[in-house]
Structure 1
Amino acid sequence: MTKQFHDAVLGSDALDQLFREARTYNGWLGKEVSEGQIHQIYDLLKMAPTSANMQPARFVWVQSPEAKAKLVDCVAEGNKDKVQAAPVTVIIGFDIDFHEELPWLFPHADAKSWFEGDVEGRKEGAFRNSALQGAYLMLAARAVGLDCGAMSGYDTDAVNAAFFADTPTVKANFICSIGYGDPESIFDRSPRPDFDTFNSVV
């Protein structure tokens, strides 16, 4: 059956959950995130688009005490407590050799050949699209009732050495804690610009 196109808008409650009322949390309630929820987040985010379905993001879900200790050693002082207290913190990495997977990820064309011999182009594409996938991850987490706290305050070389030493083509992009946010840990909402401030329609 052909899908009928129509004006479909999420309800106000869903838009609040995903965007308008969603916040960046700095502290967490003592409630665990299950492996089932982790799989649920991934099963949603993987459906969102990337260039030529390259899917360059590589996710490390830091949950065990041992892994947390390694990550805490890599983050800025102000982020250590956030990572330690979070039920799970995801390292969103990107694989600059993503093109090796394209024969099965994008079987419609010889997409692997588009990227062979162009390391800098692959780095750019992998970084951009993994950042997109990290944003999809945050929306997916919010969609299943969890909260997020994205961070870039960490030592990239240290994270790469601690978590990607066995896969040197994979590099960290950013990290994001996920769990049930403590309302006491958020700041007042910072200003958001009106449309005319940073937009033009030409």
Structure 2
Amino acid sequence: MSLVLDSAAQDLLFREARTANSFSDEPVTEEQVQAIYDLVKFGPTAFNQTPLRITLVRSPEARERLVKHMAPGNDAKTATAPLVAILSADNEFHEELPQLLPHFPQAKDAFFSERPVREQSALLNSALQAAYFIIGIRAAGLAAGPMTGADFGGIQKEFLDADHTPIMVINIGKPAAEGAWFDRSPRLAFDEVITTV
């Protein structure tokens, strides 16, 4: 193999990791979530922007409010996961750009003065950050159950504001001992995806 990452780490992050549908009752701590974020915040984005916002749903009352917005099939597992996170795109992310881009302070006004441009960039780059977050969850020895089957308009009204667009909900925890995931689904082969010109 020509990868630097050892085989065990490759398995943990990719080959053996899958979307979890059920979890043990072991809690996910604030320290674990902070360690995950402190690792994945270094993932690359355009202009070093960080539009991803994460709302941790911990209280039973908040969990109940969230579950009612989840699609059938996603509601039961969201109700029982040790931790649930709502991931959203902050459409006003550009306000932090001057401190994140000290070598290019004009980026805020030069590129992101118009709301539609900001929303498009926030969506793309928060999706990148969400992928890093999922890999970080796996790196912590936990399983992630990312879902987009939900009433995001309802979730936005319930938990966010007009400047934050929900992009996914992720159940987080140790996978259940049995039945945590479906069999591995197929993936496209190298020559079905890669083209050299």
Q: TM-score, normalised by structure 2?
A: 0.94
Name the structure 1 match of 2:166.
Answer: 172
Deviations 1:113-138 (A, max 9, x none): 12343211111110000001100001
Name the structure 1 match of 2:144.
Answer: 148
Q: 2:130 aligns with which of 128, 131, 134?
A: 134
- Count of paired positions: 194
1:157 CA drift (Å): 0.5
Q: TM-score, normalised by structure 1?
A: 0.92
Q: 2:115 aligns with which of 95, 119, 133?
A: 119
Q: Distance in 2 between matches of 1:169 and 1:92?
A: 13
Deviations 1:72-109 (A, max 9, x none): 01111211111111111111100111111111111111
**Taking every aligned residue pair, what percent have the same amino acid on both sides?**
42
Query: Is the contact made by 1:31 and 1:180 (CA closer than 8 Å) also made in structure 2?
Result: yes
5+ residue gaps, structure 1, are 1-6
Further displaced range: 181-190 or 56-65: 181-190
5+ residue gaps, structure 2, are none
Deviations 1:29-52 (A, max 9, x none): 111101110111111111111111
Helix, strand or coil for the counterpart of 1:141? Answer: helix
1:21 CA drift (Å): 0.3
**Residue 194 of structure 2 is aligned to residue 163 of structure 1:** no
1:8 CA drift (Å): 6.8
Helix, strand or coil for the counterpart of 2:86? Answer: strand
**Residue 176 of structure 2 is aligned to residue 184 of structure 1:** no
Q: 2:192 aligns with which of 171, 189, 197?
A: 197
Q: Distance in 2 between matches of 1:136 and 1:201?
A: 27
1:66 CA drift (Å): 1.4
Q: Distance in 2 between matches of 1:9 and 1:144?
A: 19
Q: Distance in 2 between matches of 1:89 and 1:104?
A: 30
Query: Is the contact made by 1:74 and 1:158 (CA closer than 8 Å) also made in structure 2?
Result: yes
Following TM superposition, where does structure 1 have runs of at least 4 consecutive aligned residues deviating by more than 6 angstroms? none
Helix, strand or coil for the counterpart of 1:17? Answer: helix
Query: Is the contact made by 1:25 and 1:149 (CA closer than 8 Å) also made in structure 2?
Result: yes
Q: Distance in 2 between matches of 1:66 and 1:52?
A: 38
Q: 1:32 aligns with which of 18, 27, 32?
A: 27
